[in-house]
A and B are shown apart, each in its own frame.
Chain A
């Protein structure tokens, strides 16, 4: 944890000149890190301030002109109502929730089969899943769209949410199965064996043992998948073709191409898009980092 900090203390210089050099080094480090902090905070902060400034102010002065600061919520009410961002927010929720729950359920089941059931070609099939991790979604776009249009024209999948739910779910599977399987196989075999000897069926072992003890892993994956869908633009571009069902990413993109310099709308819209990921990030940061490091800990 404090490897390098201790190192600094350990090599404490003894002469006054040495101490001065060390202090200078320390100052340089603080200045460098402060600069980094600024560069990473200021752009977002600037847009946040802008989202609360009246349109006339935004057009005439930069957001850093804090001596002439009037704050308003008009931008938010305008973008939510007149620009339909409220509907887009709800659309994002409608898209993201099923696109998270469906892959969670399907991946957990498949991952259980790959970790604790025996069937022919199990390892070969799993290698195919590993290979599919790197298949770009682009190779599926054209046939899937044609299929939805030509084979199932009556369902009108791309007019509703059906297409985007199915596509998000299917494209999430290789990684989800992979991640959960790698967690499931670390569960103690004795626990599963004992349940088998007691006569529990696989369905029962899955529901009553494996899923409950894997809640942290399943939750971490669920959070990732939810934010992934929430933040996605590409899949919405391809698979949502009714403009009343556009998610926020797409609504903001078309706002930008229509009113490229109407920053009062764009800033407010962007923060409505960011608010949920930011809340999730700050409240569940532990899961984020845990998930990130999942591989390296094992």
Chain B
């Protein structure tokens, strides 16, 4: 979870900033073919062989039965029809709805909003104390470590016997052990809590930089004119950090769509299929069940979900380089 997030945000920030400088780029009048080819070939070949051609192949494969990954039987949209009819993928017949894609929606709503909420509160409040740097480092630590380690840390906290911290605390006030990861109704919230724990530090660092870029005089003069803390937060700080918040939100959404490691290690999609997410379904169908065509269809759904972000980035980038 951790690093990917940073990379994704840097990516989004850079998409905004990158275009501006493009017009400054200069080069010699005539192309130097030999050197150009030398510099671009390694990257070009790898991107073609490992990303562009495979993406096209996967799209085509998703229209095939795809046993062993071969185009042996064209089935049209059958894989997609089966996918969206699969209650493990999306199920509206239960209340609340369930299925892997629905779990992604649940993550999207809770994880994205709560991470931003905590990040903003911490960015604003921590700036008032002397131990701000220490606090930010503590909250940031989960960002540096692997989702696999995060999963072990929290599986231990959620441990159902008397050695799990959370159940021990509940037990002390007389509430009987909760199967945090074993109950279909609780497991997703328990996992989302871990995701939030892992990402708040990142949001804090990003938003803290934005909050600190607001000039002190602006805030000060508002105070002199009699604005209270609440007005200053909602009328001044919030509007001024809305751009970083939107970039952060896009990053977190991308995270949710790509979410895999944490789920795979902590619950393996269980109990039953209760905590599966779309990237998990793709892995399981393609490599667990050997349903390559079906798995390809899931991968294509992921690609489609990420396409708006892709278009957003390309547009922002072009807008930057045109002006």
**A residues touching B (Cβ–Cβ < 8 Å)?**
1-8, 10-11, 29-30, 32-33, 36-37, 39-44, 46-47, 50, 58-59, 61-64, 106-107, 109-110, 112-113, 115-120, 123, 127, 129-136, 138-147, 166-167, 169-171, 173-175, 177-179, 181-182, 185-186, 189, 192-193, 196, 201-203, 206, 224, 227-228, 230-234, 237-238, 248-249, 252-253, 256-257, 261, 263, 266-267, 269-271, 273-274, 277-278, 280-281, 285, 288-289, 291-296, 298
**Shortest distance from the beta carbon of A228 to any chain B beta carbon, whole Å:** 5
Give the secondary structure class of A's interface. helix
Minimum CB distance partner of B214 in chain A: A3
Assembly CA distance A277 to B264 (angstroms)? 21
Q: Within the assembled complex, what's the spacing in Å between the Cα atoms of A295 and B147?
A: 25
Chain A residues near B135 (CB, 8 Å)?
A: 33, 36-37
Q: Mark B271-301, 1 if CB is under 8 A from A, else 0.
A: 0000000010011001100001001101110
Q: How many residues of B contact A (CB 8 A)?
A: 136
In the bound complex, residues from chain B placing their C-beta under 8 Å from that of A118 are: 27-31
> What are 6 A-B pairs at a CB distance below 8 A?
A107-B43, A131-B313, A203-B38, A231-B149, A261-B159, A292-B202
The 9 A-B residue pairs with the shortest CB-CB distance, nearest first, are A295-B13, A118-B27, A170-B50, A231-B146, A143-B54, A134-B310, A110-B43, A281-B144, A140-B54
Chain B proximity of A298: nearest CB distance (Å): 4
Bound CA span A273–B144, Å: 11
A113 pairs with B39, CB closer than 8 A: yes
B231-271 interface mask toward A, CB cutoff 8 Å, 1 = contact, 0 = none?
01000000000001000000000100110110011001000
Question: Given A61-B163, A252-B148 in contact, is the A6-B220 Cβ separation under 8 Å?
Answer: yes
Least CB separation from A255: chain B residue: B152
Within the assembled complex, what's the spacing in Å between the Cα atoms of A217 and B118?
Answer: 30
Chain A residue contacts of B175, Cβ below 8 A: none
**Overall SS of chain B's interface:** helix
The verdict on A44 contacting B47 (CB below 8 Å), with A62-B165, A249-B148 known, is: no
Cβ–Cβ < 8 Å partners of B209 in chain A: 293, 296
* Chain B residues in 8 Å Cβ range of A5: 127-128
Closest to B305 in A: A136
Known: A3-B127, A174-B47, A231-B148; 7 extra A-B contacts, CB below 8 A, are: A142-B57, A170-B47, A174-B51, A203-B35, A269-B152, A292-B206, A295-B10
Q: Find out whether the CB atom of A119 lies under 8 angstroms from the CB atom of B18.
A: no
- Which residues of the partner chain B approach A196 to less than 8 Å between Cβ atoms? 28
The reply to whether A166 and B46 contact each other, CB–CB distance below 8 Å, is yes
A1 contact from B144, B157, B212, Cβ within 8 A: B212
A109 near B39 with CB under 8 A, answer yes
Checking B32, B146, B153, B318 against A230 with a beta-carbon cut-off of 8 angstroms, the contacting residue is B146
B107 touches A (CB below 8 Å) = no
